[in-house]
Amino acid sequence: MVLDKPAGLPVHRGPRGGASLEDWLEPLRMGKRHLPQPAHRLDTDTAGCLVLGRTKPALAALGAIFAGGRADKTYWAVVRGGPVEDSGVIDAPLRKTSSAARGWRMEVHPEGQRAVTTWRVLGRAEGTALLELRPETGRTHQLRVHCAASGWPILGDPLYGGGEAGGLHLLARAIAMPTEPPLAAEALPPPHMRAALAACGWRE
């Protein structure tokens, strides 16, 4: 199954407790022995398509698709500034770093893991741009770091330079999986992104 995860809801319960997607899995059991489980990750502040497996065999099959890079993932992001070109590829390895002052984060580093993102501009406004992002790899915070390292951080990203106002403007817009039968789903933009999207020319 595919859920439209709201922004601000973590997928897993953290060490400090609080609400998470795990609190809402029981109603989705629907007669199965086990609770459905996420087959991949979405950041807490990222809204949109999240794939879950309803059985252990299904979860294993979905995991193999993601691990093999065969899931077709499409994201929308509103970024500050924006690229000069209309499309391109970001090929920049990422690694985790941490400090007592700033906590942990991801950074572009030649010794990091391979990370590749293709992108194209869907619309522009004064001071912002709407990008379609397609990650070819699935590194933690990949899209956020790649955009920031390119000089156009995602709007509302306090960790990587996009500012704190209005929430993270990153949406897992669509997902397509080569399952049998094929699985495809699309998520509408969350309320906090709609004004910025409309400024860039998006119409519902």
- 88 is a domain residue: yes
- 106 is a domain residue: yes
Residue (of 24, 21, 73, 28) closest to 54 by Cα position? 28
pLDDT tens, position by position, 32-62: 888 999 999 899 999 999 999 999 999 999 9
In terms of residue numbers, what domain contains 16? Answer: 2-199
Task: Please state the domain count of the chain.
Answer: 1
- 13 is a domain residue: yes
Our CA dihedral for 180, 74, 86, 112, rounded to 10 degrees, sits at: -110
The catalytic residue positions are: 43
pLDDT tens, position by position, 101-114: 778 899 999 999 99
| Domain CATH for 120 | 3.30.2350.10
Confidence of residue 98 (pLDDT cuts 50, 70, 90): confident
User: Which amino acid, one-letter code, is at 44?
Assistant: T
- 204 is a domain residue: no
- 97 is a domain residue: yes
Residue (of 151, 129, 150, 123) closest to 79 by Cα position? 129
How many whole angstroms separate alpha carbon 190 and alpha carbon 155?
14
pLDDT at 63 over 90: yes
- 64 is a domain residue: yes
Rounded to two decimals, what is the model's pTM?
0.93
pLDDT tens, position by position, 144-187: 999 999 999 999 999 998 787 789 999 999 999 999 999 999 99
- 69 is a domain residue: yes
Q: What is the mean pLDDT of residues 111-127?
A: 97
Q: Cis peptide before 57, with omega less than 30 degrees from 0?
A: no
